[in-house]
Amino acid sequence: MKIKFLLSAPGLAWCAALGAAPLSVSTAVQSQPDAASAVLAVLSAGTEQPPLSNKVGPAPAGWIAVDLPGPFTGYVKNKDLTKQLDITPGASVYLGPKDTSGVLEVFEKGDSASITGLRGGWTQIRLDKSLVGYLSSNAPAGSAPAPMDSAAAPAPSAPAPLPVQAASASTAAPAPEGSPTALSQIFEGTLASSRSFLYPSRPYKWQLVDSAGNRIAYVDMKDILVTDRIENYLGHQVVVLGSLRPVKETRDIVIDVEAFHLK
């Protein structure tokens, strides 16, 4: 069945041109060989064509499979994290923190990822692996569509000088062995007390909650010097700088706070 290995002359010319020269127009890289699938990235005009992928079978007519290098920003549901904050193999990694976002990848055993943020019931991650994407050989000239919840978007940068500073030049205590990351990250949410009439005892007094009042993470303030009463920040949106670690023997997460300020 030699026909399986044949390409039309225009298709061969297009593939050869991709391998020989940078892209002449902005080109979308789709997650599937389907124009309606999620966009993993947009390659600008002048960008060098990614290498052809040998990880999948032949692409359908009009498409070409390429290896798209990482890292990628993705989102997993908090329920797909273990108590050690590891991602459960088989969990879907989404392009954005919502169910309607396209799926970037299904997390596999051995994949490398680190936590970079919290978004309510979602955890933002950095996925360090290459993915297979698809380029259309019939892409029209001009600008490609913008990515849906772009996986290639850079991680948020730290805000301008914070009014609440760390107690010393050292950063927060390192995460315990087995924790996925001890790097300082930016987290956002509403500061609230973790205690109530029904639950007067909690492992930490303060927590970040989302717009529905659900806990995003506990916050440990012991390593900062506060110039104002923390109670004055309750009920307000805050930006927190700190590192994540699991709460022992629970599925909860705590942020070792290095600094924070009102959003």
Task: Read off the pLDDT of residues 109-153 as tens digits, 9 standing for 90 and up.
Answer: 999 998 888 877 888 899 999 999 998 876 544 434 444 444 444
**Tokens describing residue 83:** 């108590």
**Strand ranges in 44-109 using DSSP code E only, listed in sequence order:** 63-68, 72-77, 92-94, 103-106
Reported as a pLDDT band with limits 50, 70 and 90, residue 183 is low
Q: Is the pLDDT of residue 20 over 50?
A: no
CA distance 154 to 157: 8
pLDDT of 107 above 90:
yes
Structure tokens at 198: 């029904």
For 12, phi and psi rounded to 5 degrees? -65, -40
Query: Which tokens is 128 given?
Result: 């360090």
Q: Give the pLDDT of residue 76.
A: 93
pLDDT tens digit string along 219-259? 998 877 766 788 888 999 888 888 888 888 777 888 888 88
- Eight-class DSSP state of 233: G
Distances (CA, A) of 61 to 37, 138, 145, 209, 249: 16, 10, 21, 48, 52
pLDDT at 60 over 80: yes
CATH architecture of the region 2-69+131-136: Roll (2.30)
On average, the pLDDT of the chain sits at: 74
Q: Where are the domains of the chain?
A: 2-69+131-136, 72-127, 185-262
Which of 27-36, 51-60, 73-82, 173-182 is the least confident region?
173-182
Give 253's strand partners. 246
Instruction: State mean pLDDT over 149-159.
Output: 40
The predicted pLDDT at position 227 comes to: 67
Q: What share of the chain in percent tops pLDDT 70?
A: 74
pLDDT for residue 258: 84
Q: Is the pLDDT of residue 179 over 80?
A: no
Q: What is the pLDDT of residue 165?
A: 33
Burial of 182 (0-12, 13-18, 19+ CB in 10 A): middle
pLDDT recorded at residue 139: 52
Query: Residue 47 and residue 27: Cα distance in Å, rounded?
Result: 9
**pLDDT above 60 (res 6):** no
pLDDT at 226: 66
The pLDDT of residue 212 is above 60: yes
Reported as a single tens digit per residue, the pLDDT across 61-83 is 989 999 998 899 999 998 898 87
Q: What's the pLDDT band for 202 if we cut at 50, 70, 90?
A: confident
Confidence at residue 102, expressed as pLDDT on a 0 to 100 scale: 84
**Contact by Cβ (8 Å): 156, 172:** no
For tokens 């805050």, the residue is: 238
Q: Contact at 8 Å (CB) between 116 and 104?
A: no
Q: Residue 79: exposed, middle, or buried by beta-carbon count in 10 A (0-12, 13-18, 19+)?
A: exposed
131 vs 168, higher pLDDT: 131
